[in-house]
């Protein structure tokens, strides 16, 4: 029996169609004419905003999935390291060798945890930066489009 991945959010977005939403907006605006304002440009702006929403949601989802996969990999690596450490400690002879080996293992574990933490932080920051750049760019474009639409008002 196959189990569904609880982190797969693609089903949530399967029915979301920004083109259909833009069409609904266009149909809604087609009956309401505002004198001097090109409603088709407003609809086009909203269509672009919906597309941005979809791409940013997909980017965040992909980033989250990559993060979860990497964390799972880190957990597997940690389990393997603990297993090896336990084997190493059980084969050591005298107590001073065991103590020295424990200190070495603790230091290595700390350095690995710090490295993993930095990697996770970088993954999160890269995803957030990518999405923020897209949103900032679209906001600037949207404001320019609005400015152009308003400038055409007679």
**44-93 pLDDT tens trace:** 888 888 889 889 999 999 999 999 999 999 999 999 988 888 888 787 67
Evaluated on CA atoms 18, 22, 25, 31, the torsion sign reads: negative
What are the two backbone dihedrals, phi and then psi, of residue 83, each rounded to the nearest 5 degrees?
Answer: -60, -45
pLDDT at residue 10, as a whole number: 64
Percent of the chain with pLDDT over 70: 77
d(Cα 41, Cα 115) in Å, to the nearest integer? 49
Whole-model pTM: value is 0.66
Who wins on pLDDT, 79 or 37?
79
Q: With beta carbons less than 8 A apart as the criterion, state whether 66 and 123 touch.
A: yes
What tokens were used for 8?
Answer: 């797969």
Question: Can you read off the two tokens belonging to residue 118?
Answer: 């930095």
């Amino acid at each position: 029996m196959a189990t569904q991945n609880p982190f797969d959010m693609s089903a949530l977005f399967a029915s979301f169609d920004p083109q259909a939403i833009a069409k609904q907006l266009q149909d809604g605006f087609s009956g309401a004419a505002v004198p001097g304002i090109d409603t088709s440009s407003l609809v086009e702006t909203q269509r672009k905003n919906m597309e941005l929403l979809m791409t940013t949601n997909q980017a965040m989802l992909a980033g989250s999935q990559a993060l979860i996969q990497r964390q799972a990999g880190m957990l597997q690596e940690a389990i393997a390291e603990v297993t090896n450490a336990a084997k190493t400690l059980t084969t050591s002879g005298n107590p001073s060798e065991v103590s020295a080996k424990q200190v070495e293992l603790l230091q290595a574990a700390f350095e690995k945890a710090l490295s993993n933490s930095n990697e996770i932080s970088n993954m999160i920051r890269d995803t957030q930066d990518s999405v923020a750049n897209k949103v900032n760019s679209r906001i600037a474009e949207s404001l320019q489009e609005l400015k152009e639409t308003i400038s055409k008002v007679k």
